[in-house]
C-alpha cells in the first residue's frame, strides 16, 4: 500500500532529527574506517623507511649552509618510489571521503581566541619600529662591521631570521609580517598614494621581484660578504619605499612587494588567523580552499615560483647539479666570453627554463582536468582554484630546506644579537644529529599530503558531481607526484659547492 504524504513527511523529519552531527560523523568515521587505519599504518612504515634513509637537508645556495651529504642507506629507486607512492596512496584514500558536510565541517572548524583589536595599533607600531631599527642596524653593520659570514649580524638576521625563521613562524603559527614590516613603517610617515596602481599589473611585479631576489642570492656573494648584502638591502629598500609612496602602501604591499606577498600566501597555511579583531585557531591549511586566495595568473606564477626557487637552489648545491653546470659551461665554450660570464648565463638559463617547465606543467594539469571532467568551468578557473594547495608543498619544501640552517646557526645568531658591534671571531655553530636530518623527508611528504587533502576539498567545493570532483584531481595529483619525486631526489644527492660563483 503506498505511503501517504503525511507519512513521508514524518519519515523525512525523523531522518533529519536522527541525522548525526558533523562532530559525530567525524568520530564515527575515524573509528570505523578501515581504509584510514591502513593509511596510518602505511604512513608509519614510510616514516620508518625515511628515518633509515640517511639523507640530509638540501643546501640553499648559501655558503653558510653547505654541509656534506651522506649516501642513501636504501636503493634510490625504492626511496623515490616510496615517496611517490605515498602521495598516490593518500590521494586514493582521500577519494573515499565523499561526505561534503564532513569536509565542510573540517575546513570551517575554528576555535575563537582573544580579542586583539584594541591592542593591534600599538603592537603594529612597536613591531614596525623594531623592524626599522633592525633594518638600519643590519645595513650599517654590513658596511662597517666584521666581514666574517657566521659572525655578521647582517647575514645572520637576513638568512636565519627573515629567510628561514619568519616564514616558518608564518606557516606553522601565523603571519606576523604586517606588524613587523619596516618598509611599511617608513612609508606610513611619508605622503603616499600619488598614482593608482595599474590593475593589469596584478601581482606580476611580486613574481619578478621574487625571482630576481633568488637570482641575486645565487649569483652574487650576498651570503658570504656582508657589505654586498647591505648594498642589496639598500637597493631593495629604495625600490620598495619609492613604489609604496607612488602607489600607496596598501596597493604596493598587497600586490608588488615580493616579501609581503610571500608572507601573505604562507599565512594561508597557518592555523592562527586574525579575523574581525580576534585571533582564531583553525586546522592547518583550512584556508587553502578559499576561492579568493588565488584570483589571477600572476598569483599562480608566484606560488610556482615559491616551489621552484627552493628546488633550483637545492639542485645547484648537489654534486649532480655542479656537474651539470660544469658540463654546460664547457659545452658553451666557443671562444667568446670569460668562463664566469658563461657560467652566470648557464645558471640564469637553468633558473628561467626550469621555472617555465614547472609553471607549464601545472597549467597543463588545469587543461587536462577540464578535458577529463567536461565541465563548463574554464581551465584557467580550475587552475586558480587548485593552486592554493601548492602552498602546503612550498611550506614543506621550505621547512625541509631551512630547518638545519636555522638550528645550526642559532647560537651564532644569539651571539650576534647580544654583541652586534663586536661578535666573537669564532662563533659557535651546531651540528644536528643524524636522525634530525631525516626529518627533511618527512617535511616534504607532510606538505604534499596536506596539499592532496586541500585539493580534494577544493574539488568537492568546485564541482557538484562526486565523480567529476574525483576525476578533476588526477592531473594535479600527477604534478604533485612529480614535484615530490624531484624534491626527494635532490635530498638524496651528495652536496657540493656551486662552481664558478664568487
Tell which residue, 247, 249, 243, 229, has the closest CA to residue 162.
Answer: 229
d(CA 106, CA 30): 13
Which grid coordinates belong to 64?
653558510
Q: Report if residue 499 sits inside a domain.
A: no
What integer pLDDT is reported at residue 337 of this predicted model?
65
Contact 222, 235 (CB under 8 A): no
Q: Report if residue 157 sits inside a domain.
A: yes
Q: ∠ at Cα 426 (313, 225), nearest 5°?
A: 40
- The least confident of 231-235, 389-393, 433-437, 464-468 is 433-437
What integer pLDDT is reported at residue 17 of this predicted model?
44
Asked if pLDDT for residue 73 goes beyond 60, the answer is no
pTM to 2 decimals? 0.85
Contact 452, 440 (CB under 8 A): no
Asked if pLDDT for residue 83 goes beyond 80, the answer is no
Q: Report if residue 6 sits inside a domain.
A: no
Backbone angles phi, psi at 52, to 5 degrees: -85, -10
Interval 158-212: pLDDT, tens: 999 999 999 999 999 999 999 999 999 999 999 999 999 999 999 999 999 999 9
What average pLDDT does the segment 121-133 reach?
93
- The least confident of 115-124, 261-270, 398-407 is 115-124
What integer pLDDT is reported at residue 76 of this predicted model?
65
Asked if pLDDT for residue 301 goes beyond 60, the answer is yes
Using the structure block, give the residue that is written with the C-alpha cell 601573505.
Answer: 264
Q: How many structural domains is the chain composed of? A: 1
Contact 395, 169 (CB under 8 A): no
Asked if pLDDT for residue 246 goes beyond 60, the answer is yes
Q: Report if residue 7 sits inside a domain.
A: no
Interval 5-28: pLDDT, tens: 444 444 444 444 444 555 555 455
Q: How confident is the model at residue 227 (pLDDT cuts 50, 70, 90)?
A: very high
Q: Report if residue 427 sits inside a domain.
A: yes
What integer pLDDT is reported at residue 219 of this predicted model?
94
Q: Report if residue 260 sits inside a domain.
A: yes
Which grid coordinates belong to 490?
635532490
Mean pLDDT of the chain: 83
Asked if pLDDT for residue 33 goes beyond 80, the answer is no
Q: Report if residue 151 sits inside a domain.
A: yes
Asked if pLDDT for residue 366 goes beyond 80, the answer is yes
What integer pLDDT is reported at residue 131 of this predicted model?
96
What integer pLDDT is reported at residue 12 of this predicted model?
41
Highest averaged pLDDT of the listed ranges 74-83, 89-98, 158-167, 450-459: 158-167
What integer pLDDT is reported at residue 439 of this predicted model?
83
Percent with pLDDT over 90 in the chain: 53
Q: Report if residue 502 sits inside a domain.
A: no
**Domain range enclosing 446:** 22-492
Tell which residue, 448, 372, 441, 451, has the closest CA to residue 79.
Answer: 441
Amino acid at each position: 500500500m503506498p505511503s501517504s504524504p503525511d507519512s513521508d513527511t514524518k519519515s523525512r523529519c525523523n531522518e533529519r532529527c536522527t541525522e548525526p552531527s558533523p562532530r559525530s560523523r567525524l568520530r564515527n568515521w575515524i573509528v570505523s574506517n578501515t581504509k584510514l587505519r591502513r593509511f596510518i599504518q602505511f604512513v608509519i612504515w614510510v616514516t620508518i623507511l625515511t628515518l633509515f634513509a640517511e639523507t640530509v637537508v638540501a643546501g640553499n645556495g648559501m655558503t653558510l649552509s653547505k654541509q656534506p651529504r651522506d649516501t642513501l642507506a636504501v636503493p634510490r629507486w625504492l626511496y623515490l618510489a616510496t615517496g611517490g607512492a605515498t602521495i598516490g596512496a593518500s590521494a586514493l584514500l582521500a577519494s573515499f571521503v565523499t561526505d561534503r558536510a564532513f569536509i565542510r565541517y573540517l575546513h570551517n572548524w575554528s576555535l575563537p581566541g582573544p580579542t586583539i583589536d584594541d591592542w593591534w595599533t600599538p603592537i603594529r607600531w612597536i613591531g614596525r619600529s623594531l623592524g626599522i631599527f633592525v633594518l638600519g642596524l643590519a645595513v650599517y653593520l654590513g658596511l662597517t662591521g666584521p666581514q666574517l659570514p657566521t659572525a655578521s649580524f647582517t647575514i645572520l638576521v637576513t638568512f636565519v631570521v627573515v629567510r628561514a625563521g619568519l616564514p616558518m613562524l608564518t606557516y606553522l603559527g601565523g603571519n606576523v609580517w604586517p606588524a613587523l614590516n619596516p618598509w611599511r613603517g617608513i612609508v606610513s610617515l611619508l605622503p603616499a598614494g600619488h598614482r593608482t596602481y595599474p590593475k593589469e599589473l596584478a601581482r606580476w611585479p611580486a613574481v619578478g621581484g621574487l625571482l630576481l631576489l633568488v637570482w641575486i642570492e645565487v649569483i652574487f656573494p650576498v651570503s658570504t660578504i656582508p657589505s654586498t648584502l647591505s648594498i642589496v638591502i639598500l637597493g631593495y629598500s629604495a625600490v620598495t619605499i619609492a613604489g609604496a609612496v607612488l602607489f600607496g602602501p596598501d596597493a604596493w604591499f598587497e600586490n608588488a612587494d615580493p616579501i609581503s606577498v610571500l608572507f601573505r600566501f604562507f599565512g594561508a597555511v597557518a592555523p592562527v588567523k586574525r579575523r574581525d579583531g580576534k585571533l582564531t585557531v583553525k586546522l592547518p591549511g583550512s584556508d587553502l580552499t578559499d576561492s579568493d586566495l588565488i584570483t589571477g595568473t600572476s598569483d599562480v606564477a608566484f606560488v610556482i615560483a615559491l616551489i621552484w626557487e627552493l628546488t633550483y637552489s637545492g639542485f645547484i648545491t648537489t654534486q649532480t647539479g655542479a656537474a651539470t653546470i660544469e658540463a654546460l659551461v664547457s659545452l658553451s665554450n666557443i671562444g667568446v666570453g670569460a668562463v664566469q660570464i658563461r657560467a652566470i648565463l648557464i645558471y640564469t638559463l637553468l633558473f628561467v627554463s626550469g621555472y617555465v617547465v614547472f609553471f607549464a606543467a601545472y597549467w597543463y594539469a588545469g587543461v587536462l582536468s577540464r578535458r577529463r571532467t567536461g565541465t563548463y568551468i574554464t581551465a584557467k578557473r580550475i587552475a586558480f582554484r587548485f593552486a592554493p594547495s601548492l602552498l602546503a608543498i612550498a611550506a614543506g619544501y621550505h621547512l625541509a630546506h631551512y630547518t638545519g640552517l636555522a638550528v645550526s646557526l642559532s647560537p651564532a645568531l644569539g651571539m650576534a644579537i647580544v654583541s652586534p658591534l663586536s661578535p666573537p671571531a669564532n662563533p659557535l655553530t651546531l651540528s644536528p644529529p643524524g636522525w634530525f636530518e631525516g626529518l627533511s623527508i618527512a617535511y616534504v611528504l607532510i606538505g604534499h599530503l596536506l596539499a592532496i587533502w586541500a585539493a580534494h576539498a577544493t574539488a568537492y567545493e568546485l564541482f557538484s558531481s562526486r565523480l567529476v570532483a574525483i576525476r578533476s584531481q588526477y592531473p594535479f595529483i600527477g604534478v604533485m607526484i612529480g614535484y615530490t619525486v624531484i624534491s626527494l631526489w635532490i635530498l638524496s644527492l651528495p652536496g657540493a659547492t656551486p662552481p664558478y660563483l664568487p
